Amino acid sequence: MEEVNKFTKFLESPEGQKYIEETRRYYAWLDKWKEKKLAWFDSIGPERRSHYIQKVIDKYSSKSYKDRWYNKGCFPEEELYFWIFDYAYKYGKCWRALSEEVGPGYDSKFVFDNWKVILYNGQGSIVYIKPVTDADIERGPDEYAQHWLGHEYDEINWK
């Protein structure tokens, strides 16, 4: 409790107020930067987007990339997957919110171009990105979600 009181006093002090304002400015700048990059990604067209996404998947799927992180004692970083999810959230079509009470964006899946993107939240967050198949379209959103998540979950190498 003493630490909480110290932190509260800091935030109420002039230095704390300055820190809060600097943090707000930084995140405002970061939001603008992200919007600019997402707009650029949208402007390059589906073929270049698909090429870029496949390169990201290939990198994150490679044994050398995963082993580099595992040897550091942690799970591999996959920040670009989250960036692609942000693009799908903004420019894609929401296929179905997995958590209906929370709504799109939290445990949701989106489709854009020929890609399906899902954010799966739990103790951590995982983003899956796969090409859309004819079977996905035939199944429809609900059956597709059950099939895809069950199948993909079993394929994760938890090492």
**Residue 143, in any domain of the structure:** yes
- 30 or 123, greater pLDDT: 30
**Residue 6, in any domain of the structure:** no
* Mean per-residue pLDDT, 106-125: 81
What is the per-residue pLDDT across 3-41, written as a single tens digit (0 to 9) for each? 999 999 999 999 999 999 999 999 999 999 999 999 999
Q: Which domain holds residue 88?
A: 44-155
Most confident of 78-87, 135-144, 149-158: 78-87
- 47 or 2, greater pLDDT: 47
**Residue 132, in any domain of the structure:** yes
**Residue 65, in any domain of the structure:** yes
To the question of pTM greater than 0.85 for the whole model, the response is no
Classify each residue of 10-44 as buried b or exposed e, where b means 16 or more C-beta atoms within 10 Å of its C-beta. eeeeeeeeeeeeeeeeeeeeeeeeeeeebeebeee
What is the per-residue pLDDT across 45-94, written as a single tens digit (0 to 9) for each? 999 999 999 999 999 999 999 999 999 999 899 999 999 999 998 998 87
**Residue 12, in any domain of the structure:** no
**Residue 81, in any domain of the structure:** yes
**Residue 113, in any domain of the structure:** yes
- Tally the domains of the chain: 1
- Show the DSSP H helices in the chain as ranges: 2-12, 14-43, 46-61, 63-71, 79-91, 134-139, 141-155
- d(CA 35, CA 41) in angstroms, rounded, equals 10
**Residue 33, in any domain of the structure:** no
